[in-house]
Structure 1
Amino acid sequence: MKVLRLAALLLILFSSTLFPNLCFAEDERSDGYFTVYEEKTGRKIFATARVVSVGDQYLDAQNDLYEIVRVEGDKAYAVFKEKVDLEKALGEIQASDHQSVFAEAGKRTVAIYHTHSDESYVPTDGKASIPYNGGIFKVGQALKKALEEKGINVIHSDRSHDPHDAAAYERSRRTAMELLKQNPDAIIDVHRDAVPAEEYSGEVNGEPLAKVQLVVGRQNPQMKTINNFAWQIKAVADKKYPGLIKGIFYGKGNYNQDLFPRTILVEAGTYTNYRQSAEKGVKILADVIATTLYGEDHQKKATPGSGSTTQIRGEGGGTLKSILGIVTIGAAGLIGYLLISTGGWKELTSKVGRFMSTEFANFLGNARKGKREGDDENSRDQN
Structure 2
Amino acid sequence: MKNFKRFVLTILFFFSLPIVIGMMPFPNNEKFVPATPEEKILYAANDLVVSDVAPPKDPFKVLLLFTHSHETYKPFLENEKGMVAVYDDQANLYSMHQLFEDYFRLNGITASTLDVDVMSVLKENGKTIVDAYKTVRPYVAEELKTNQYDLILDIHRDSTSRNKTTVVHKNVSYAKVSFVIGAENPNYKSNKAIAQTISNSMNEIIPNISKGIIEKKGTGVDGVYNQDLAKEFILIEIGGIDNTEDEVYRTVAVLAQAVANSLVEK
Flag whether TM exceeds 0.5 (same fold): yes
Among candidates 135, 139, 158, match of residue 175 of structure 1? 139
Q: Which residue of 1 is the match for residue 5 of structure 2?
A: none
Residues in 2 aligned to 1:137 and 1:280: alpha-carbon distance in whole angstroms: 17
What is the CA distance between 1:106 and its match in structure 2?
4.4
The structure with more strand, counted as a fraction of residues? 1
1:92-145 deviation line (CA, Å, top 9, x unaligned): xxxxxxxxxxxxx843211101000110111221421113x3411244333211
Aligned length: 192
1:159-184 deviation line (CA, Å, top 9, x unaligned): 11114522100111123223323111
Whether the aligned pair in 2 keeps the contact of 1:111 and 1:184 (CA below 8 Å) is yes
Among candidates 137, 150, 167, match of residue 94 of structure 2? 137
Residues in 1 aligned to 2:95 and 2:161: alpha-carbon distance in whole angstroms: 21
Structure 1 vs Structure 2 CA RMSD? 2.0
In structure 1, stretches of 5+ residues that fail to align are 1-104, 296-309, 311-383
Q: Which residue of 2 is the match for residue 166 of structure 1?
A: 130
**AA of the residue aligned to 2:250:** K
**AA of the residue aligned to 2:101:** K
Q: Secondary structure at the match of 1:112?
A: strand
Pair 1:134–1:189, CA change in 2 (3 A) = farther
What stretches of structure 1 move > 4 A for 4+ residues in a row?
A: none
Normalised to the residue count of structure 2, the TM-score between the two structures is: 0.67
Whether the aligned pair in 2 keeps the contact of 1:204 and 1:243 (CA below 8 Å) is no
1:37-79 deviation line (CA, Å, top 9, x unaligned): xxxxxxxxxxxxxxxxxxxxxxxxxxxxxxxxxxxxxxxxxxx
Among candidates 224, 232, 236, match of residue 254 of structure 1? 224
| Aligned: 1:288 with 2:258 | yes
Residues in 1 aligned to 2:182 and 2:60: alpha-carbon distance in whole angstroms: 26
Among candidates 222, 235, 241, match of residue 200 of structure 2? 235
Whether the aligned pair in 2 keeps the contact of 1:140 and 1:190 (CA below 8 Å) is no
Deviates more, 1:197-206 or 1:117-126: 197-206
Residues in 1 aligned to 2:86 and 2:246: alpha-carbon distance in whole angstroms: 15
| Aligned: 1:274 with 2:235 | no
Whether the aligned pair in 1 keeps the contact of 2:205 and 2:254 (CA below 8 Å) is no
Q: Secondary structure at the match of 2:116?
A: coil
Pair 1:276–1:120, CA change in 2 (3 A) = same
**AA of the residue aligned to 1:209:** Y
| Aligned: 1:206 with 2:171 | yes
Residues in 1 aligned to 2:244 and 2:229: alpha-carbon distance in whole angstroms: 32
Residues in 2 aligned to 1:261 and 1:199: alpha-carbon distance in whole angstroms: 29
1:266-290 deviation line (CA, Å, top 9, x unaligned): 1011112223211211111110112
| Aligned: 1:185 with 2:155 | no
Residues in 2 aligned to 1:177 and 1:290: alpha-carbon distance in whole angstroms: 25
Report 1:295-374 matches (<5 A).
295=265, 310=266
Q: Secondary structure at the match of 1:248?
A: strand
Whether the aligned pair in 2 keeps the contact of 1:139 and 1:282 (CA below 8 Å) is no
Pair 1:152–1:194, CA change in 2 (3 A) = same
**AA of the residue aligned to 1:130:** D
Residues in 1 aligned to 2:204 and 2:228: alpha-carbon distance in whole angstroms: 28
The structure with more helix, counted as a fraction of residues? 2
What is the CA distance between 1:191 and its match in structure 2?
0.5
Normalised to the residue count of structure 1, the TM-score between the two structures is: 0.47
**AA of the residue aligned to 2:141:** M
